[in-house]
Amino acid sequence: MSLKRITLTVNDLVETVDVPQNMTLLQMIREKLSLTGTKNGCSAGECGACTVLMNGEPVNSCMVLAAECDGVKVVTIEGLAKTGTLSELQKAIISSGGVQCGFCTPGMLISATALLKRNPGPSDTEIREAIVGNLCRCTGYVRIVDAIRQAAK
């Protein structure tokens, strides 16, 4: 299978990667860049565990071909903590008890980060709408919504 060389920015680092034409962005992030915080939940774009920011917008990385990502800017969960310091949102999700098994947490935080960038003072309805594509089987969402509201303050 032929490889395509792409250059993209991941968490503020320029990366050049040779990828097969059928490799997803999720696979590239995890297998080629060894950034394993982004999770593979369903491989069908339904659960949101693989959500990353692509050019500032949340996307299901399992549904994007890596070969199409030449020149894009990607932020993964690892990119939210600047210089080893947790973001306010990451601190809030911990303090609110919004993490249980943690599998959905990276995608939730990425979706919430996108929301807070475009709307720093969202209502609970806007918060719930922003995370609608992220499935959580443990928390019941209340503590996650609380954490996002807390981080917005």
pTM (predicted TM-score): 0.94
Are residues 23 and 71 both part of a single domain?
yes
- Report d(CA 94, CA 99) in Å as an integer: 6
Rounded to whole angstroms, how far apart are CA atoms 65 and 59? 12
Q: What is the CATH number of the domain that holds 12?
A: 3.10.20.30
Specify whether 22 is located in the same domain as 69.
Answer: yes
In this prediction, what percent of the chain has a pLDDT beyond 70?
A: 100
Q: Which two tokens stand for residue 130?
A: 């922003």
Question: Bridge-partner residues for 92, per DSSP?
Answer: none
- Give the list of residues 6+ apart from residue 4 with CB closer than 8 angstroms, or none: 18, 19, 20, 21, 67, 70
Q: Report residue 11's pLDDT band, with 50, 70 and 90 as the boundaries.
A: very high
- How many Å from the N-terminal Cα to the C-terminal Cα in the chain? 50
8 and 75 housed in the same domain:
yes
Average of pLDDT values for 37-46? 95
d(CA 111, CA 44): 17
The answer on pLDDT for 1 being more than 80 is no
Neighbouring CB atoms inside 10 A of 123's CB total 11
Assess whether 99 and 62 both reside in one domain: no
Flag whether pLDDT at 50 surpasses 80. yes
Q: Which residue has the higher pLDDT, 85 or 1?
A: 85
